[in-house]
Homo-oligomer: A and B are copies of this chain.
Amino acid sequence: MSQYHSVRFVDVRLEGDFWKERLDTVLAKTIPSQHKKLAEYGLLDSLKLPNPPPPLRFPRHPNGFTVQVFWDSDVGKWIEAASYALSHRRDADIEAKIEAIVDDFEKAQLPDGYLNCWYLGREPEKRWSNMRDNHELYNAGHMLEGAIAYFETTGRRRWLDIMERYVEHIRQTFGTGPGQKRGYCGHQEIEIALIKLYHLTKEKKHLDLAAYFINERGNQPPHYFDVEREERIKKGWEMQRYAQSNYEYSQSHKPVREQDKVVGHAVRAMYMYTAMADLAVELNDAGLRKACETLWDDVMVTKMYVTAGLGPSEHNEGFTYDYDLPNQTAYAETCASVALIFWAQRMLHLDLDGKYADILELALFNGALSGLSRDGEHYFYMNPLESNGSANRWDWHTCPCCTMNVSRLVASVGGYFVSTAPDGIAFHLYGGISSNLDVGGTAVAVRETSNYPWSGAISISVDPATPKAFDLKLRVPGWCKRATAKVNGETITLSPSKGYATIHRTWSKGDTITLDLPMPAERMFANPAVIMDVGRVALKRGPLVYCVEEADNPGGRVQRLKLSRQSEIVVGENRDAVLGGLVTLTASGKAIDESDWSGLYRTAPPREAAATLTAVPYYLWANRGKGSMVVWVPEA
């Protein structure tokens, strides 16, 4: 089968209402306000070497720990997000702000290429001494991704040149050669960035360095984190600050090809699997591919929330044990769902199977998108599936990773819609895009028009420069049971294989395909091994998981509501002052009467009355003030 490759985000225009609204919000609100926060919280000052002003909002912790160790990454990620935004609409003010940051980085960089403002401003002699905890390569990765995005959008090389010098320094520092450190970063990320740099430059050395970091990880004895720790102890540098002697936390407990269970910090895991899948594609590495497939199955079968949230535990920001998916205390970090999208996209290019696109879409519309408020200036770091009303979106976070992860995702979402091969085009997502593609040397203009995800009525025009025979592969989502299609008005038989229906024909200018993906509301049930969800039901329509929120169901905590198994779920188009146009689901059930309770326990059952439940898409929750919310509703 042909190898499909992603289409660069800059080559895809977002035209559908759903994503245009999100994109406009990110452009107009999120990107500028994030820069303000970076300034306000001292992240921008921290780049002003050699003597960065002390941060006002986060003074030095008495134990010596400061929160700045990963700040370079946040700045890098903001540049990345802003660059994606600029590809949609250039903005001189934003570009000036980026250039000012690049000025600082340029001044900060050492002659040997090293560039980490936390170390340079505080403990330059200790650089590369604590790979386990201090995020140096993680920072480098995010800075590099920012530099690549900025170059792709603007063509400006200065920031990319700085980062290429830094990468060269990293290459000399790490490796299996004499005098090199056999280390790797406690927080995976640079591997993804290096593969992007390889895609941009075609220089294989970048791919090799990414492969080195992946291949070296988890080798032992001795474990590199023990080796460097011994060094630190000798030098009196060991501070035990947020020590993680458990190597599963950073997925370095064994070589990556031997890993078959998803463990540890969820974002680190997802970033690593993304890079592994990337390398499996680029190097045709069967061992990495097998590991990716095994790990994928492990997540899907035992560890993912119905919203595609990942990592139930705050303790390790990650995974615990099979089927441990508590709702109210779900950690489900926004970054983890964003990173699951990255991984799913790479898996899709390893094997064009709709099961990967289904999860990409699920994570996009639920666990990831929930991280950004309607106003574009408030966030969720954690994405619980239930709230007693105390959860609240925040306007910044001591660890602001999720803020820029969700903005860079939205601003680059066009890059996930479509892939091309020398003999085909594959549509993964729908929602209104246009792009000029190259199919085996022929220019093909495509335009997909729809009101997706609210409606499954999709129209696609295919305009090759000259008539050309190729595969048009249309994803038929796993949730869609009765898809139909027409080509130029004539019904065709869809026979999806691995989630994609292939239409092979000679395409000519003006060809039009209509695809209808019926979207009935559905009840979802969880495997009874998820003990938290026994006796409960979730509502879903198309790719959207729904939740019951107090804003639509006033009168007390929504946990008092139960949904009747037999009730019809009514699909309704609505408009909310804050949420805008949306599809709501309503159904009948019961409401427990809380008014006759005084103490904690009693022998008389709670009184119940008939009630109507209204549900809205999960990603929209917590935009209308504080209030309770539940995804898994008890059944009446």
Residues of A within 8 A of B (CB): 62-63, 238, 240, 300-302, 304, 306, 321, 323-324, 326, 328-329, 386, 388, 390, 522-531, 534-535, 537-538, 557, 559-560, 562, 565, 592, 594, 597-606, 628, 634-635
Contact = CB atoms under 8 A, between A and B. Distances in A.
B528 A600 contact: no
A528 B560 CA distance: 6
B600 A531 contact: no
Contact of A306 (B386, B528, B601): B601
A293 to B, nearest CB: 15
A62 B304 contact: no
Contacts of A599: 300-301, 527
A559 B531 CA distance: 6
Given A240-B62, A534-B634, A606 B300 contact: no
B601 A527 contact: yes
B597 A529 contact: yes
Nearest to A538: B601
A605 B536 CA distance: 10
A560 B525 CA distance: 13
Nearest to A536: B535
A329 B386 CA distance: 16
B598 A301 contact: yes
A585 to B, nearest CB: 14
Nearest to A299: B600
A553 to B, nearest CB: 14
Contacts of A528: 557, 559-560, 592, 594, 597, 606
A388 B523 CA distance: 25
A25 to B, nearest CB: 30
A343 to B, nearest CB: 17
Given A531-B388, A534-B634, A634-B535, A526 B304 contact: no
Closest 9 CB pairs of A and B: A531-B559, A535-B634, A528-B592, A527-B597, A528-B560, A522-B603, A528-B594, A527-B600, A524-B601
Contacts of A601: 306, 524-527, 538
A594 B605 CA distance: 29
B602 A525 contact: yes
B600 A304 contact: yes
B526 A390 contact: no
Contact of A390 (B321, B535, B603, B606): B321
Nearest to A535: B634
Contacts of A526: 600-601
Given A302-B600, A525-B602, A530-B600, 7 more contacts: A300-B599, A522-B603, A524-B601, A524-B602, A534-B592, A534-B634, A535-B535
Nearest to A526: B601
Contact of A329 (B329, B522, B598, B604): B329
17 contacts: A300-B600, A301-B598, A306-B600, A328-B531, A524-B602, A524-B603, A525-B604, A526-B601, A528-B557, A528-B560, A528-B594, A529-B594, A531-B557, A531-B559, A535-B535, A535-B635, A565-B605
Contact of A600 (B62, B240, B301, B390): B301
Chain A interface mostly = loop
A528 B531 CA distance: 19
A635 B603 CA distance: 14
A608 B90 CA distance: 59
Nearest to A238: B62
Contacts of A559: 528, 531, 534
A63 B522 contact: no
Contacts of A529: 557, 594, 597
A62, A302, A604: which has the most chain B beta carbons within 10 Å? A62
A386, A534, A592, A606: which has the most chain B beta carbons within 10 Å? A534
A598 B304 CA distance: 14
A542 to B, nearest CB: 13
Contacts of A560: 528, 534
Contacts of A603: 522-525
Contacts of A537: 605
A517 to B, nearest CB: 16
A605 B534 CA distance: 11
Nearest to A322: B388
A62 B236 CA distance: 13
A62 B524 CA distance: 49
A563 B91 CA distance: 63
A598 B559 CA distance: 29
Nearest to A630: B531
Nearest to A628: B531
A526 B604 CA distance: 10
A229 B440 CA distance: 73
A326 B532 CA distance: 11
Contacts of A525: 601-606
Nearest to A481: B603
A565 B606 CA distance: 12
Nearest to A306: B601
Nearest to A62: B240
A592 B534 CA distance: 9
Nearest to A532: B328
A245 to B, nearest CB: 10
A623 B490 CA distance: 69
A574 B524 CA distance: 41
Nearest to A523: B603
Given A528-B592, A606-B525, A535 B557 contact: no
Contacts of A62: 238, 240
